[in-house]
Amino acid sequence: MQKTLDEQYYRRLRELQEVDFALVELSLYLDTHPGDQQALQQFNQLAQQRQKLAKQFELEYGPLMQFGHSFSRYPWQWVESPWPWQV
């Protein structure tokens, strides 16, 4: 079943992707600079922001990740598409 997606869907998904990108970059940086307190603080702030963004997205559009990382409302939402990685 294909859902009609609005602009807000794409905006929220892009915002999540931007935060994920920054988190990956910061984690790579922190692998080589573990004592950089400012980078660690920024990583933790972004991780908290990502949790909030993901929760909001999932409440509105359904789960982002499988294998118990995301909850599903009834009925099972994984049969609905497109999935976030297909956009």
pLDDT, residue 12, reads: 93
Average pLDDT of every residue of the chain? 81
Residue 1 lies in a domain: no
Q: Are 16 and 47 in contact (CB under 8 A)?
A: no
- Ramachandran bin of 68, using left for φ above 0, alpha for ψ from -120 to 50, beta for the remaining angles: left
N-to-C CA span, the chain: 15
Examine the pLDDT at 1 and tell me if it is beyond 50: no
- pLDDT of residue 40 exceeding 60, the answer is yes
Does the residue 57 lie in any domain? Answer: yes
> 56: domain range?
7-82
Residue 61 in any domain: the answer is yes
Total count of domains within the chain: 1
> Is the pLDDT assigned to residue 2 strictly greater than 60?
no
The backbone torsions φ and ψ at residue 17, rounded to the nearest 5 degrees and listed phi first, read -65, -40
Mean pLDDT of 13-28: 93
Q: Tokens standing for 29?
A: 């940086």
How high is the pLDDT of residue 58? 87
Cross-strand partners of 81: 2
User: How many other CB atoms are there within 10 angstroms of residue 6's CB atom?
Assistant: 11
Confidence of residue 81 (pLDDT cuts 50, 70, 90): low
